[in-house]
Structure 1
């Protein structure tokens, strides 16, 4: 009653063969579409010599790069561009300290010229009048004491302003030394270069 179809009698070896592709060449959606390189090949590509072949040329290039970096930092400290400044001068807290110190008249910025003048006078007066030489030395020590008192007053006021404006960031270590060191420098020799005038305090 039921006949078998002609297709079912076809030999098994005449069935359509499945096409097999190497797994490494199958391109998956979103894939890289190329076989993964072998480990040895990847290691060879990433392998670089620890010691350059031309040491003199490498050293010359390193010195040139360091010199270019120093020149870029010096130019940044002249213009106030914090992008290329040294790390110790970057940040809003240290910028605020510089502006506050540069806006204030301080005895510390007069210390170096006053000390040089007083020492020269002391050397000249020692052979002429020892009393005047001793008096000049006393005046120098009084100036140093007044300078220290002035620095203490400056830092106490600046510390309050930093705490009010920056919170905990204004209380980190090293800020006092950063401010005091700048006070004792001659204004024209300060780096980064002052960007404000005397009396122009930051807000």
Structure 2
């Protein structure tokens, strides 16, 4: 009865009192929470230099995945031009046959030796050998194109043939050990009937 009565405090007054006494108005984060927040802040790039470095790192990782896929034939990471069952069939078909392009480098070396020999007869023989080789390569590529298109029409009915000729010829014009994606079949190996 003779006591003093305390004034009733509202929540706004309580927050103001807490802010004055302790300062921040929220509980102190645990060490684990503080470290997690610091890691999250560190991952977010702040400057253009950090953004460029992060993009460069992502590009390096992506190219490493593509490079390893080119060696193993993993379809998930291949470039779009190499993906799909039709492209895989073209690669296997070209790789399973022996082509005259495989002999191009040795024949070019022989042609150069004959050309620089100084003898006009040997030089003319070298030129004839070079022209004959180029003619055989052209005939081989035309026949290869026809066979591949025929096989694609048989194995993949309804698939568009657009781009298959270019893909076939560029694959066939490379030396076997330089082809990317790497060859997965041996010369003369029987190909599976279904590629889906």
TM-score, normalization by structure 1: 0.69
Structure 2: distance between partners of 1:124 and 1:179:
35
Are residues 113 and 185 of structure 1, via their aligned partners in 2, closer, same or farther at CA, if it must alter by over 3 Å? farther
1:85 is aligned to 78
Kindly indicate whether residue 50 of structure 2 is the aligned counterpart of residue 72 of structure 1: no
Conserved? CA contact 1:118–1:137, under 8 Å: no
Conserved? CA contact 1:98–1:194, under 8 Å: yes
The 5 A counterparts of 1:1-203 are: 53-115=46-108, 117-125=109-117, 127=118, 129-169=119-159, 171-202=160-191, 203=193
CA deviation string 1:165-193 (max 9, x = no partner): 11231x42111110111111111111000
SS in 2 for 1:144: helix
Structure 1: distance between partners of 2:103 and 2:173:
8
Structure 2: distance between partners of 1:168 and 1:144:
34
Structure 2: distance between partners of 1:119 and 1:57:
55
CA deviation string 1:70-110 (max 9, x = no partner): 11001001011101111110000000000000001111233
Deviation of 1:53 (Å): 4.2
Give unmatched runs, 5+ long, in structure 2.
Answer: 1-44
Deviation of 1:124 (Å): 2.3
SS in 1 for 2:116: helix
Number of equivalent positions: 148
Give unmatched runs, 5+ long, in structure 1.
Answer: 1-51
TM-score, normalization by structure 2: 0.71
Structure 2: distance between partners of 1:73 and 1:112:
29
Structure 1: distance between partners of 2:106 and 2:67:
25
CA deviation string 1:49-73 (max 9, x = no partner): xxx7411111111111111111100
Conserved? CA contact 2:115–2:122, under 8 Å: no
Structure 2: distance between partners of 1:67 and 1:114:
39
Deviation of 1:123 (Å): 4.1
Structure 1: distance between partners of 2:103 and 2:61:
34
Conserved? CA contact 1:100–1:201, under 8 Å: no
